[in-house]
Amino acid sequence: MKTNSKATDLVKKDKKNTQSTRLLVTEPTPLLIFLLQKLSGKSRHNVKALLKNKQIKVDQHIVTQFDFALITGQTIEISNEKAPEEQHYKGLKIVFEDEHLIVIEKEEGLLSIATEKQKDFNAYSILSGHVKKQNTSNKIFVIHRLDRETSGIMMFAKSEKVQALMQESWNATIRERTYLAVVEGKTEKQSGTIVSNLIESKALIVYSTQNPSLGQKAITHYETLRQNDSYTLLKVNLETGRKNQIRVHMQDLKHPIVGDKKYGATVAPIGRLGLHAWVLAFTHPITKENLYFETEIPKKFIKLFENRFTKNKLILEKNKLVK
């Protein structure tokens, strides 16, 4: 592998006059070597500090791994400021907050909002308490939800105005909504699209119908990332966002999500539902800034495919995992 990498330097100023430097990778090289070559005067210790402080992004993704393998065409962004500290609460952590929105990473097992049976401990109640620490009159508002046993990225609004803006322009505002799903068996196709109308029964079970006059249309795109003899890891993109959509469509595919007894699963190898909201990208309703949030792949997911997740073989390329 060649390590003498060339790059085009671009400097970008944001509205607060902070600076970030952008570098275009033109030859494959490890990230640390690339940064040492381009950041004259920076020691190895200085560069590793930038990585530790989450000041380095590769194609909009924060990267902290010093030996991350760069490929031609990727863009490196170096921020002059440390990433804000994530605030942790039991069951969730806040990964972004401004005066309009809160973006969180929710753990599996935590409700998004209250139910008749459990009214006190949920993401909504936790965040309500959080914003009231700043001002007792502050409130939060639900934009969308994740199922209790689904982990990952979700967001809340801090005003009814922002809530309405996000919900009314959802399809135009959301640029990417990607999930990871661990399903039973080996999928026959490497990728595909599932289209059906979804209906909810009186027993609160959602099911598919091909009758266009019933239910709501749901479109799910999937792509195989990893497989072994027993399970498949899928990257799933939602074109629509219906209740239990991915879970029902995986059942329709004859490959139910592991741990999802409600929708046909027969095994639970990771002790939880194998569904994770991995990426959420959207245009901020007020500032119009394009925001991108990505979580780590759950360790329990990786463990099922650990022989395929060896060091330096996970390369993030334009939101895809490749060998």
- The catalytic residues are 147
H helices of the chain, in order, are 31-38, 44-52, 123-132, 160-168, 170-173, 245-252, 299-304
Burial grade of 261 (CB within 10 A; 0-12, 13-18, 19 or more): exposed
C-alpha 101/C-alpha 167 separation (Å) is 13
Structural tokens at position 223: 């792509």
- The angle subtended at Cα 175 by Cα 297 and Cα 84, nearest 5°, is 60
Structural tokens at position 247: 């879970």
How far, in Å, are 105, 193, 238, 239 from residue 246 at the CA level? 19, 11, 8, 11
C-alpha 26/C-alpha 70 separation (Å) is 9
Instruction: Determine how many CB atoms are found less than 10 A away from the CB of residue 33.
Output: 17
Query: Cβ distance 196 to 252 under 8 Å?
Result: yes
- In total, the chain counts a number of residues equal to 323
Q: Is 187 helix (H, G, I), strand (E, B) or coil?
A: coil
